[in-house]
């Protein structure tokens, strides 16, 4: 008891309550909170487990009858403990932040190597960008043939995805974490043309859909199919009109059964050389 009284007197003296002597008081910070976050993330396990992830087919669709979005704005990303979060911002015709996102469809292409984000927006401030995260290699912003545009995320590794949109400001957020199934195939990419179908090593019918996107001087792409040293099909198809970014193309060609090499690109008018990509496939 005596020890307790001595301690109490010492504390009161230090606080300036005895003898009228003023003294300074140090206010200690409160102890750290021990409250657990609502959505804990385990290192290496991916994104917080709120909402379902999809690893093939359609990820989400949202129809928006009225929107002030006209431009695909900046695209940013952040990484956190196995979760990769990409944010697409939207702008009005004047370049101000939009308040309402456009209609959106997000889906994996059949190969599962590309996630395509269809957007009802005709303009963009970026064309493409190297990403090089664990899951994503690069992205492209493409003017679609029918209407609007799309953003393609080319994956480096299999991934699962989920999407949400927000208002004021208008944004689309896509979260990715590691997937389980390997790709069925990969897109062929060059400086001026990208072929998403067919992929190298594909097997398919003799009537082939050739599709992808390009940035060419003539606004079209040249397609040449060869079997051995023989040209078995050739075509020229228009690219979606776009002065500021990539333009989509799509056409069909007929080839004989067997192994076929398909070139997609353009011819240099100065010397006749070809620049583009070539994929090989087996047609039955």
- Identify the band that residue 23 occupies on the pLDDT scale cut at 50, 70 and 90: very low
Residue in the block written with tokens 């999407």: 163
Q: Tokens standing for 171? A: 């944004």
Predicted local distance difference test score (pLDDT) of residue 49:
80
Q: Which CATH class is domain 188-283?
A: mainly beta
Which H or E run includes 7? helix 2-14
Question: What are the domain boundaries of the chain?
Answer: 58-178, 188-283
Q: Is the pLDDT of residue 115 over 90?
A: yes
Q: Is the pLDDT of residue 4 over 60?
A: no
Q: Is the pLDDT of residue 51 over 90?
A: no
Candidates 187, 236, 237, 244; CA nearest to 215 is 244
Q: Tokens standing for 205? A: 């019918």
Q: Tokens standing for 120? A: 């009802």
How far from chain centre, in Å, is Cα 183?
Answer: 16
pLDDT tens across 66-103, in order?
999 999 999 999 999 899 999 999 999 999 999 999 99
How far from chain centre, in Å, is Cα 224?
Answer: 30
Q: Determine the Cα–Cα distance for residues 63 and 55; give it in Å rounded to an integer.
A: 22
Q: Is the pLDDT of residue 44 over 80?
A: no
pLDDT tens across 123-166, in order?
999 999 999 999 999 999 999 999 999 999 999 999 999 999 99
Q: Determine the Cα–Cα distance for residues 36 and 67; give it in Å rounded to an integer.
A: 38
Write down the architecture of domain 58-178 according to CATH. Sandwich (2.60)
Topology match between the domains 58-178 and 188-283: yes
Q: Tokens standing for 262? A: 């398909």
């Amino acid at each position: 008891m005596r020890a307790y009284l001595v301690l109490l007197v010492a504390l009161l003296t230090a606080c300036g309550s005895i003898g009228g002597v003023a003294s300074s008081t140090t206010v200690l910070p409160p102890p750290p909170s021990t409250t657990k976050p609502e959505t804990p993330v385990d290192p290496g396990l991916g994104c917080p487990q709120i909402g379902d992830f999809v690893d093939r087919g359609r990820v989400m669709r949202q129809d928006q009858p009225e929107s002030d979005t006209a431009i695909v704005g900046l695209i940013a990303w952040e990484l956190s403990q196995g979760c990769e979060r990409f944010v697409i911002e939207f702008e009005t015709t004047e370049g101000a932040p939009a308040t309402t996102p456009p209609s959106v469809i997000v889906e994996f292409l059949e190969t599962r190597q590309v996630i395509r984000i269809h957007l009802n927006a005709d303009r963009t401030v970026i064309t493409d960008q190297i990403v090089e995260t664990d899951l994503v290699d690069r992205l492209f912003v493409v003017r679609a043939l029918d209407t609007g545009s799309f953003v393609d995320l080319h994956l480096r590794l299999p991934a699962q995805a989920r999407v949400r949109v927000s208002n004021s400001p208008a944004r689309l957020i896509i979260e990715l974490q590691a997937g389980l199934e390997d790709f069925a195939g990969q897109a062929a990419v060059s400086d001026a043309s990208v072929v998403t179908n067919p992929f190298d090593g594909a097997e398919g019918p003799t009537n082939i859909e050739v599709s992808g996107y390009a940035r060419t001087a003539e606004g079209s792409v040249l397609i040449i199919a060869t079997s051995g040293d023989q040209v078995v099909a050739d075509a020229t198809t228009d690219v979606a009109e776009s002065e500021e970014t990539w333009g989509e193309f799509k056409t069909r060609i007929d080839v004989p059964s067997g192994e076929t090499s398909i070139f997609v690109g353009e011819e240099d008018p100065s010397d006749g050389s070809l620049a583009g990509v070539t994929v090989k496939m087996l047609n039955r």
